A and B are shown apart, each in its own frame.
Chain A
Amino acid sequence: MAEPLLDVVDLHVGFRIFEGYLRVLNGVRLAVDVGERVGLVGETGCGKTTTVKSILRVLPVPPARVTDGRIHYRGRDVLKMRQREAQALRRHELSAIFQDPLLSLNPVFTVGTQLRDIVRDSAIGKGKRLSRRVVEARCIGALRETGMPDPERIMTNYPIQLSGGMRQRVCIAEALSTNANLLLADEPTTNLDVTIQDQILRKLDELVDEHDASVVMITHSMGVVRDLTQRANIMYAGSIVETGETRKLLEHPKHPYTQGLMASVPKLTGEGISEGIPGRIPNYLDPPSGCRFHPRCIHRMEICSEESPPFFEIGDGHRAACYLYRRET
């Protein structure tokens, strides 16, 4: 098997705060192959964004601390890189789109100023100096690609003059204008209406195809993951609990958490909504021992509170971190 583009192994990240030590990421395992689209699904506070920020090396240290694990990008350990190398990596290889474009766009510069900076800097990093005309053309091209009407005018606008959907398109244009190889999309459409979400996701899909990039799609929406990714990873309280081919996983969820989650999603078939999952996400100051889901799990066994479960193979790359699937040996 070829080496994956991105390989996150056993990542542990915590935050030192006044009340103590927050043990947030608890052994995250995530692999992305070249050209693959991977989904990372989980609810609020399960550590999705912390994972992305660790990969980008933009976590504030301190209070954050990576206590264990590796993040390999094309075989190089991101965590061991020097600042300059990490910066170069962010400039050419990785790109990110965050949830709220109003927070990721600078309100006091026009869209054009910000986009030009990105295009120019990423070229400089590759040892090229672009003429003003080429930069302008690339910026307008990038905006046009995202389906933005009248890109010349948009370039002169400030972010607040644009609607939510347009702002997110600007972010996508910025992310893709550097020809990044791996796109980390952190809830890119959560704030948008469904019809606009549909447009943006379709555009993103097309552009990723054209640019031949790999994607990690972070979201809490099962539907978005199903539409856009080939492999899904379900995350709960700082660890990946289930991974597998997206459609198969959603059709036959194995981990009790995934099952509970799927039953809670309101469906168009109108079969009613399940009671949800009792309890709530644990306090990271003092997370439960063993499997972090065990206090909320209906299939709880003795071993669950004692040892944290490894992945058990269910078939075809479908794996669940749950002792229910341990084979008798």
Chain B
Amino acid sequence: MTEDRVLDIENLVKHFPTKRGVVRAVDDISLFVDSGDTLGLVGESGSGKTTTAQCVVGIYPPTSGRIAFEGSPIDVAFSRRPKELKRKIRIVFQDPGSSLNPKRTIKQILSVPLKVHGIGTPRDRLGIMSHLLETVELPPTEYLYKHPQAIGGGEKQMVAIARALATNPRFVVLDEPTSALDVSVQGKIINLLMRLGEELDLTYLFITHDLSLMRNVATRVAIMYLGKLCEIARTEAFFRTPKHPYTRMLLSSIPVVTEQEESLKPEKIVSKGEIPSPVDVPPGCSFHLRCPKRMPICSDVDPPMRATDDGRFVRCHLYGAESGEAPAAGLAEMGE
């Protein structure tokens, strides 16, 4: 089992001290990604999904907790990571307009990772770059010498993907790769990512706020709310029987386009309230202020993550063995 466990996060915490108090961006989350999986990390803005990703790629060192990649711990700052690790874990950012240097040509942009990681001799590199562009279905002769501003948003994102793939990675973090794009362009990018995932044997951590997209892309889905995970399950099971009240609220709030989809949505849960500030997280379960199934215990005790049927984890008192259970005992069994 450990062999194909690519990423294993245990009790990851990332706090940012500010003048107004500590921002609890990621607050004790545990999850794993197996080889060949696409884990969809879904949450609303401010839920901590991007911070989680940034801890994984090393942009921030975690406050506490463990991140292991292929079995070995990687929870150190980016500057202290071995180069080999940086080659294996790559990231694609949300907005290609700001992640690609506007003053460089596509060729210059793509050559950076090759130079840094010493891939190919200077003479081979043009060939490698052309091949990279071909993998993302952009004709090299047409694109190599263009600047990012001369091409469309979708094509820019393709270049960003090519740059991520330049080092032949094992694990790619996709941080909302299509949310800045129109749906007609999104389709092409998603299909490309899925095809490349299979061909190059990639494992993805796919961050998004779009649950309908995850239904079509992810093998497993994790829902995040205010720095904590609410529910993790395999995609099929997740959408068939969503358990956590927040998950249901999310699902029932999605505007859908056909009758058939309408019938798949859970019973309407009227959404109310707003996401509290991560500086001032409510006591007990962080969702209890907006929860339609609130119980007295919810405002006092933070529910532990519990494993339920077929590899699903839910963090809610509704699914506790006994609702009076001490939280510490629950946390210990969280691993699996």
Binding site for B on A (CB under 8 A): 43-44, 163, 165-166, 193-199, 201-202, 220-224, 226-227, 250-251, 260-278, 280
Q: B224 to chain A: closest CB distance in Å?
A: 12
Most A-side CB within 10 Å, residue of B209, B216, B236? B216
Known pairs A193-B44, A266-B216, A268-B264; A198 contacts B253 (CB<8 A) = yes
Partner of A276, one of B185, B209, B261, B272: B185
Nearest-neighbor residue (CB-CB) of A221 within chain B: B255
Q: Measured between alpha carbons, how far is A271 from B210 in the docked complex, in Å? A: 16
Determine whether the beta carbon of B213 is less than 8 Å from that of A266.
yes
Determine whether the beta carbon of B260 is less than 8 Å from that of A269.
yes
Determine whether the beta carbon of A269 is less than 8 Å from that of B182.
no
**Which residues of B in the span 255-308 have a Cβ within 8 Å of any Cβ on A?**
255-261, 264-265, 270-272, 274-275
Tell yes or no: B154 within 8 A of A by CB.
Answer: yes
Determine whether the beta carbon of B257 is less than 8 Å from that of A226.
yes
Q: A230 to chain B: closest CB distance in Å?
A: 16
Determine whether the beta carbon of A274 is less than 8 Å from that of B253.
no
Q: Measured between alpha carbons, how far is A262 from B270 in the docked complex, in Å? A: 27
Most B-side CB within 10 Å, residue of A44, A265, A271? A265
Binding site for A on B (CB under 8 A): 44-45, 152, 154, 182-188, 190-191, 209-213, 215-217, 235-236, 239, 249-250, 253-261, 264-265, 270-272, 274-275
Known pairs A193-B44, A195-B253, A265-B257; A273 contacts B187 (CB<8 A) = yes
Known pairs A193-B45, A194-B250; A273 contacts B216 (CB<8 A) = yes
Contacts of A277 in B (CB 8 A): 184, 187
Known pairs A223-B256, A250-B257, A269-B261; A196 contacts B184 (CB<8 A) = no
Partner of A198, one of B45, B182, B271: B271
Determine whether the beta carbon of A269 is less than 8 Å from that of B257.
no
Contacts of A165 in B (CB 8 A): 274
Q: Measured between alpha carbons, how far is A202 from B190 in the docked complex, in Å? A: 31
Determine whether the beta carbon of B154 is less than 8 Å from that of A275.
no
Contacts of A198 in B (CB 8 A): 253, 255, 271
Q: Which 7 A-B pairs have the closest CB atoms?
A: A223-B255, A276-B187, A198-B253, A193-B44, A195-B271, A264-B187, A43-B182
Q: Measured between alpha carbons, how far is A133 from B274 in the docked complex, in Å? A: 31
Extra contacts besides A270-B235, A276-B185, A276-B188 (16): CB < 8 Å: A194-B44, A194-B254, A195-B250, A195-B271, A196-B274, A201-B255, A202-B270, A223-B256, A250-B257, A251-B258, A268-B211, A268-B215, A268-B239, A270-B215, A273-B191, A276-B191
